[in-house]
Structure 1
Amino acid sequence: MTSSALSAPPPHSDTHATTKASDGEEQALRRAADAGEAAAGWVRGLASRQGEEEHARALERVAEAIVRASSCEILPGSDGLLAEELRYTLAADVVLGASHTVGTRPELHPGELMPLITVCALAAAFPSCVLGNLGTELTALSDELAAATEAGRIATAAGAARACPARRPGTLGSDHADPLDRLAYRSVFDSAAESFEVALHYQGGHGEKARAQALHNALAAAGGGIAAAALLRVADDPALGLDPDQWEHLHLIAAELNLRVVEDLGGANGDGTTDPTQP
């Protein structure tokens, strides 16, 4: 990038005096500032990952430019032009970072590049909203900026997840060192054993048909708990990079399958180091 470090906001060259914003416009201005701060926070995260200090500084300048373009540069009654230094900083060559000096491009995960360009373009357009319906246009751009930022965050999380080492998930009861796993396994086992014995008793306790029916009942009793534990294993695997909504959705499904197992693995029924049936 060819931009220099940002200084204090320069005075605008327009000849129009700024005017006081209406209540609706003030609300839109606050919304724009919040969206800008969130976008800048994501960009600062990109900066913190850079191995080249020049790239890190360039992205830090971009983050600061986003904050200014979405807040103090939006002046009702002005000519709607963004300060020149901010236009350079938020230009499309943000994707090059400091490549003109270090010879490399910024380190970005797949999927981060387009949201970065979009975030910069939207932030640069914010000041021009004063030339139209400020409240409506600024709100629309703020929503798009928030969406672009979220897309960037998802790409960042996915990239971080891909960097996690692969691991083989364990089945319920396989982690003997985890007392909560043992507690949940015991709950599933007891339920299956009880169903097996009850079915065997009512089937007469002998014969191939009786054993088959008892086994069927035991599998039915254990299936929900085993599936619930598997879903929790998946939800908690960092390599998937699930967002909070996805994580919660899997936990809700697991709870519908077997709430007791979810509670056991979460520690709601004790730490698993004591026998809950003993006083």
Structure 2
Amino acid sequence: MKIREALRKERLAQHKTQAAWIKNIPMSVFHYSEIETGYAKNGKEADIDSEKLILLLKSNHVDIIKFFESVNGSYKIDERARMIENISNQLSVAFNNNDLEKVEKITHELENMPAVPKITYYRAVLIRAYLKDEMTSMDKATRTKINQYIYQKDNWVTDNEALTIFGNSMPISDTDILIARMGKVLRYYKNLENCPATFQRRVSTVCVNYLYTALCIRKIDKYVSEIMALIRTLPFDDRFGLKILITQYFEYMRNGDKKSMQQLKDVLRHAGLTKLANRLQNES
């Protein structure tokens, strides 16, 4: 059985309502009900992140090992999906290391790979253009394809792939369109701290990308304050701590506080994040 089915089975075995079942975890009854019923939006089921799942099981005294043994048979590893995920991870590493040669190699491989997910290919195209400093000179046909991909779904703000492309394509977006799209994201995720972990991570990345684009490239202030406030609602942990620090850096930049900017860059360098600190140095 699947996780949602196993959760329902365990809850009913303890004769608990959904409200009583989740009383010790930060989740609404409405969202938990969607998880149990398998409610799907845009082809994706409502999910529960691993931390909340473990907390839920422990708070209701469910044997965690036996629980996962009961659901293990329902989940099989898709070898192709794992390969694409590996390529995506390689792209992220290459981007963080400014490794243009690696990105060029990956992009070439994707161009010759059958049925490659558009999200992966467009990410490679955008990262390659960024590292070659060709974002603003990208050909119109490619820009059009990327924009069409984002908006082929009515509710693109709830699609993780579309959000990824939106975040990566900001430097080549028209300013007015960029602002309008960011406004839609902010309206939908105004309570980001209550969203599933997957979207917290994605939307927070989109927000940081917007701060960079708005302050370092477009020199605009629209939505900057709102985004900074939204990022601060997230916990300062291994998932969001670095994004919160970068957001603080951009606030110092916005206020012209060069001393604090330098101090924060020094902290990043002491933490081993020299390349990130240098990138901020170059953009400020």
* Bin of the TM-score, shorter chain as denominator length: under 0.3
TM norm structure 2: 0.24
Between structures 1 and 2, the one with greater helix share: 2
Larger Rg: 1
Structure with the larger RCO, 1 or 2 (CA within 8 Å, 6+ apart): 1
